[in-house]
Structure 1
Amino acid sequence: MSALNNRAVILGGNRIPFARSNKQYSKATNLDMLTSAIDGLVARFGLAGENIGEVSGGAVLKHSKDFNLTREAVLGSALSPTTPAFDLGQACATGLEAVVSLNNKINAGQIESGIASGVDSTSDAPIVVNDSMREILLELTRAKTMVQKAKIASQIRPAYLAPQAPTTGEPRTGLSMGEHQAITAAAWGISRQAQDELAVASHRNLAAAWESGFFNDLTTPYLGVSRDTNMRPDSTVESLAKLNPVFGKKLAAEATMTAGNSTPLTDGASSVLLGSEDWAAEHGFTPLARLVDAEAAAVDFVDGAEGLLMAPAYAVPRLLARNGLTFDDFDVFEIHEAFASTVLSHLAAWESEEFCKDKVGLDKALGSIDRDKLNPLGSSLAAGHPFAATGGRIIATTAKYLKTTGKKRSLVSICAAGGQGLTAIVEAA
């Protein structure tokens, strides 16, 4: 591979339509969905039997049996079984991190091609027993005789039998992501109407994109589902205004976050094909875009000094400064809609001279973005958010959007649990 033509390019993507939790995909596993998303990509690009450089992927909610999830998906797909794969994880930024990792490997000349992927199912979330029960069960597996097993089993108490389902609570605070964001929304003075307006725009934009056929070569039907099931194109600000708050109830009348302006629990999987320019040319593939840089950030949210989901507000200024860019240099802003108020809090932070000076170290506010450039094809409020699959959805969507519209540059931003965030610059190829 020549030094001049080993730059990584984004060639396309595939995902299964996202579905609300405990609905159409309730019996599907992470492995089922991830394999389907990868196979759809393989079929679209005629890669059956091909040895891809590497496949990266992950899931936020994983069963212990899924310790080698991405590799198992490769083995169950039409790819050559000699294609290596690895799992990674960065909460909701997992899918984007999967893209960044392969993008960097291709740019370094380590591989010529790669598939970045991500999947999550809250319908098939792992259920565990409490620690006391787990210890007893482990002792039972080591017992040699029936007498030993009976003695160990006698330690079981009724309370030990209660299963423990996974929660969205942060281990260090005990607060859910929604409760954390409710505090942030109140701190930034994000209004209920602004959140509802953003949610309505997301649904309408996503629906329009589906109706135009934009997603036809970015998705494959799965289990009878051909479109994202959370999409509500008939949503209005008036209808959303009737919903009661579901987060921040301690804020009483100041609570603004409802089921209508928050993302629902969702199942789904996504995949993105990347390759060097030479590899793409050899296979006759037309590059859509390239990921030119990425920046991660983390905040200390435990003591309340910063909001849980505010890390992108710190990452974006650093990313832009390193590349000598301003908001005016971008044609589209793909900002993950964990909650409508999350996006609006980030925008408010970038518009705040105090925040940008005191928290980021700039000499002035980063600035405002043109709202017409924000998530023009809808985002997570409408499509849903299967944690590790969101990054792949966003990258494939924005890469195709740049190619088909003749736009030049996109800013991608994803907040994640644990006070983290990952951002990236994507440019048309």
Structure 2
Amino acid sequence: MASGSAAKPTPADTGARRRVAVLGGNRIPFARSDGAYASASNQDMFTAALGGLVDRFGLAGEKLDAVIGGAVLKHSRDFNLIRECVLGSALSPYTPAFDLQQACGTGLQAAICAADGIAAGRYEVAAAGGVDTTSDAPLEVGNELRRTLLALRRSKSNMQRLKLIGKLPATLGVEIPANKENRTGLSMGEHQAITTKKMGIKRVDQDQLAAASHRNMAAAYDRGFFDDLVTPFQGLYRDNNLRPESSPEKLATLKPVFGAKAGDATMTAGNSTPLTDGASTVLLASEEWAAAHKLTPLAYFVDSETAAVDYVNGPDGLLMAPTYAVPRLLARNGLALQDFDFYEIHEAFASTVLCHLAAWESEEYCKERLGLDAALGAIDRSKLNVNGSSLASGHPFAATGGRIVAQAAKQIAEAKAAKKNKPVRALISICAAGGQGVAAILEA
């Protein structure tokens, strides 16, 4: 062994965790299903979003330590989706990549995975995000046809093949992806309608929150907030679900679309997110990598928490897992719910956000469900989704997390410029199918 001074210990050697910088993000405008991106694939969209990130941060030819992302709806051809997108970008082909999936939490979970790698010293720089299209949803053949076709491939003789071919007309069938929970047969909207009614969330409050989301996002676009977060794609420059003219009065005229069977239905197409296509990315790095590349962090990725609930046999609503994740995250970081400058709560439905807030304000819920000594309390609603959220932008399932992380980081950077001597924090909370929830804290 060569003599000389010992190598400097790395975070991986010492167990120390490094700070993780959020440098920025890029996404394509989100589009309502079967519209502007009807002919675009997951690979088309994520490659475009990643390409915009590469251009924005001068990463052409750069080898990243990882690109992590995923899609909820995938064709069989998408089995190595994120790596294929890397190969279609200007990044070095030596950049490794992998897919993950946690329903609507996919994008945030990808960022968490990247952040954990950087904090532990395994990565210096990584990109994370997600993509989804309901326009180009995968169609599958029925199980009987699939089994027959597989048997046909395995058959050894012409006689066997003829017998199997004779079965084909009777076994033809196509399965279209269903927007429902496998365990219950109910759609996410129907599940949320049950929780909405149980928690007494009013229609007028849902419509006000939805209108505010559109109003806030439209204003953010107008003042240029999204100029360095969004790149055009296939003729779109803004999310085409955005309705600047939306108002509680206009939303009040819409008929309910979820919960009609239970009576007192309050959830409409206007206060629920539409099916959406789109892709998002976010760039994370160590402070050392950022400094070496002369990039200023917008914020730091502090911590995260994931939770799940029993929505099948237990007392919890399908989308209530974030109410469990957030208090655990707060306790671990010595923070109160009120210790944040921004609250980025994913608007799967307006009533979902309102149910979460009501749960945290309820002493009974916090004690009996969450095991807390008291209610977490109320937040300052003026700090909620200040530049709009999913009701305005739309919600391409796996892409929402990347949008929110990049948006929150930029909000923190802007606020920090005016609040230099005090920490600025954002709490991110995303509900997901399967009774799961993901939460994170950003800070500067």
Cα distance in structure 2, aligned partners of 1:311 and 1:327: 16
Residue 206 (structure 2) pairs with residue 205 (structure 1):
no
Residue 368 (structure 2) pairs with residue 389 (structure 1):
no
Residue 130 (structure 2) pairs with residue 114 (structure 1):
no
Which residue is 1:81 aligned to?
Answer: 93
Which residue is 1:45 aligned to?
Answer: 57
| Residue 361 (structure 1) shift | 1.1
Q: Secondary structure at the match of 1:116?
A: strand
| Residue 94 (structure 1) shift | 0.4
**TM alignment of 1:186-205, pairs within 5 A:** 186-205=197-216
Which of the numbers 226, 229, 241 marks the counterpart of 1:218? 229
Q: Which amino acid aligns with 1:153?
A: I
| Residue 322 (structure 1) shift | 1.1
| Residue 149 (structure 1) shift | 2.5
Which residue is 1:426 aligned to?
Answer: 442
Q: Which amino acid aligns with 1:380?
A: S
**TM alignment of 1:92-241, pairs within 5 A:** 92-158=104-170, 160-241=171-252
**TM alignment of 1:262-277, pairs within 5 A:** 262-277=272-287
Contact 2:17-2:119 at 8 Å conserved across structures: no
Cα distance in structure 1, aligned partners of 2:230 and 2:251: 29
Contact 2:19-2:302 at 8 Å conserved across structures: no
Q: Which amino acid aligns with 2:25?
A: G
| Residue 179 (structure 1) shift | 0.4
Q: Which amino acid aligns with 1:321?
A: A
Cα distance in structure 2, aligned partners of 1:302 and 1:5: 38
Q: Which amino acid aligns with 1:30?
A: N
Contact 2:25-2:53 at 8 Å conserved across structures: yes
Runs (5+) with no aligned partner, structure 2: 1-7
Cα distance in structure 2, aligned partners of 1:105 and 1:222: 31
Contact 2:19-2:301 at 8 Å conserved across structures: no
Cα distance in structure 1, aligned partners of 2:314 and 2:94: 48
Runs (5+) with no aligned partner, structure 1: none
Cα distance in structure 2, aligned partners of 1:219 and 1:310: 30
Q: Secondary structure at the match of 2:338?
A: helix
Q: Secondary structure at the match of 1:230?
A: coil
TM-score in terms of structure 2 length: 0.94
Residue 331 (structure 2) pairs with residue 321 (structure 1):
yes
Q: Which amino acid aligns with 1:14?
A: N
TM-score in terms of structure 1 length: 0.97
Query: How many positions carry a matched residue from both structures?
Result: 426
| Residue 151 (structure 1) shift | 1.5
Contact 1:398-1:410 at 8 Å conserved across structures: yes
Cα distance in structure 2, aligned partners of 1:92 and 1:328: 25
| Residue 153 (structure 1) shift | 1.4
Contact 2:28-2:49 at 8 Å conserved across structures: yes
| Residue 249 (structure 1) shift | 1.2
Q: Secondary structure at the match of 1:275?
A: strand
Cα distance in structure 2, aligned partners of 1:94 and 1:286: 26
- Once the two structures are overlaid, the 10-residue window that deviates more, 270-279 or 299-308, is 299-308
| Residue 116 (structure 1) shift | 0.4
| Residue 276 (structure 1) shift | 0.4
Deviations 1:69-128 (A, max 9, x none): 111111111000000011111110000000001101001000100000200000111001
Cα distance in structure 1, aligned partners of 2:340 and 2:295: 26
| Residue 150 (structure 1) shift | 2.4
Residue 23 (structure 2) pairs with residue 11 (structure 1):
yes
Which residue is 2:72 aligned to?
Answer: 60
